[in-house]
Copies of this chain bind each other. A is one copy, B any other.
Amino acid sequence: MINIQQDILPEKERPIGVFDSGIGGLTVVRSIINKLPKEHIVYFGDTARVPYGPKSAEVVRTYAKEDTDILLKHNVKLIVVACNTVSSVALDVVQKNSPVPVIGVIEPAAGIAAHTSKSKRVGVIGTLGTIASCAYTSEIRHHDPDITIEGQPCPLFVPLAEEGWDNHDATRLVAREYLAPLIEKGIDTLVLGCTHYPILKDIIAEVTGPAVTLIDSADSTADAVLHLLQSKGLLRNNDIPPEYVFYVSDVPHKFREIGERFLGRELRNVEKIGNIHIT
């Protein structure tokens, strides 16, 4: 195994850093691996403090700063904030503290949503923090001020995805309850504004019907990573297979089972780091 984190590596060879509040960000890693199969990746999931979604912006900003510092210690060439809540309320904190480029999950998905909608009505689903921040609303309106955005927090989708109930009638009922108000308002585009939601994509599509296009923030973020590395000449171009290293602040119950479902492959090279304290 090569040491992808040594600081004498040429910039192209340095890993992409990805962090999330927990394991949801592994859906973003999965998309990055698909689109950029030669890149090394270092992931940090703050599983000892997960979830960030219901927590206050103040607390999320403190956590985001610390998560950034952890990735920077691992010599990353780029930071991907694979957490919609952090991208919504603390992207500026990450950018301010990072000497390397930063990509959040909001901007890429917002741009695609703005260009996809014909009815000029876009739905956004996410955590309480993401929806309360109106970050998607601002970003989408930045592309097209005539678009109306309908936000809907869906707190039950995260635990349903973690339970693996991706084809369960309870999930169907929950999805109908959350999505009915958006469908009534005539949306033709729906942003899956949380990294857990791609797991429930089939059921969400079933409820919204074929007239609504789903925008997966994981896929659009991976595209943005590709474009950014290309434009900066930082794509790794080496046929030695890449390394993936996963750091977590806790190894919670069912970690491997849930993680592998999200990552879509075997989860290896997992290491617990960090100790959480209250002062």
Contacts and interface: CB of A to CB of B under 8 A. Distances in A.
Contacts of A169: 173
B163 A276 contact: no
In the complex, the count of this chain's copies comes to 2
A278 interface: yes
A66 to B, nearest CB: 5
B253 A56 contact: yes
A55 B155 contact: no
A229 B250 CA distance: 38
B59 A276 contact: yes
A256 to B, nearest CB: 13
Interface residues of A, number: 41
Interface stretch (A27-35, A45-53, A136-144, A181-189): A45-53
A59 B156 contact: no
B129 A253 contact: yes
A59 B162 contact: no
Interface of A: 46-49, 54-56, 58-59, 62-63, 66, 70, 128-129, 132, 155-156, 158-160, 162-163, 168-170, 173-174, 177, 249-254, 274-279
16 contacts: A48-B49, A49-B278, A54-B254, A56-B252, A59-B250, A62-B277, A63-B278, A66-B278, A128-B253, A128-B254, A132-B253, A156-B163, A170-B170, A173-B173, A274-B278, A277-B277
Given A46-B278, A54-B253, 17 more contacts: A54-B254, A55-B252, A56-B251, A59-B250, A59-B276, A62-B276, A63-B276, A66-B277, A66-B278, A128-B254, A129-B253, A158-B159, A168-B173, A169-B173, A276-B276, A276-B277, A277-B279
